[in-house]
A and B are shown apart, each in its own frame.
Chain A
Amino acid sequence: KAGVTQTPRYLIKTRGQQVTLSCSPISGHRSVSWYQQTPGQGLQFLFEYFSETQRNKGNFPGRFSGRQFSNSRSEMNVSTLELGDSALYLCASNREGNTGELFFGEGSRLTVL
């Protein structure tokens, strides 16, 4: 069974640009969550999608957004990039999203210059 797939794995952007990250969940999983991981703040919850609807949102500015498609694949977008957005962005999937049994991808490492 294929795991969670995230693309791209690495990317470099400059301040002010925007970025889109993609996530394909495990087959049959309808919930997709996104997390930001930094050395200082650790893993922080961004948002969760289920059946194309955002059900939950963390404490991040509106520059961070996401969406989910009918096939459960998800994208997240960060606009007007700041240096502090440099992080590992992790996607996780779960069958229904109502338990803590999340399965993570390997992440997309974003560097903002």
Chain B
Amino acid sequence: QKEVEQDPGPLSVPEGAIVSLNCTYSNSAFQYFMWYRQYSRKGPELLMYTYSSGNKEDGRFTAQVDKSSKYISLFIRDSQPSDSATYLCAMMGSGGTSYGKLTFGQGTILTVHP
């Protein structure tokens, strides 16, 4: 079983829809939780960053972390065609053997059609 599980989709939604992306994990040592967006033939771009549990909002994007359930989510409101990309959840522990080491989900391919 992988440390981080993410439904690869693909997910196709109409413009304006609310998108919900999720990941579950098994390693309770994870402290940092990220969402990255990756366009085709580009490197991942940091979208949301959360330390420990809680919610974080940035424009149309909301990230939620529930450490008790080992579950993280990303919500995209009023989705746009430009949101079409692969969304990767990523997690990291703290200190020591965690330096620079993110554990990624497989990524969810999202298509927002006009």
Q: Count of A-B contacts with CB under 8 A?
A: 80
Main DSSP-derived SS at the A contact region = strand
A101 near B101: Cβ-Cβ < 8 Å: no
With contacts A48-B100, A55-B99, A56-B97 taken as known, whether A90 is within 8 angstroms of B43 at the C-beta atoms is: yes
* Tally of chain B residues near chain A (CB < 8 A): 29
Within the complex, the shortest CB–CB distance from B21 to chain A, in Å, comes to: 15
A43 near B88: Cβ-Cβ < 8 Å: yes
Would you give the 0/1 interface string for B86-114, flagging 1 where the beta carbon is closer than 8 Å to chain A? 00101110110111111111110000000
Q: How far is the CA of A5 from the CA of B24 in the complex (A)?
A: 32
Q: How far is the CA of A103 from the CA of B42 in the complex (A)?
A: 12
Contacts of B46 in A (CB 8 A): 101-104
With contacts A43-B44, A90-B43 taken as known, whether A102 is within 8 angstroms of B100 at the C-beta atoms is: yes
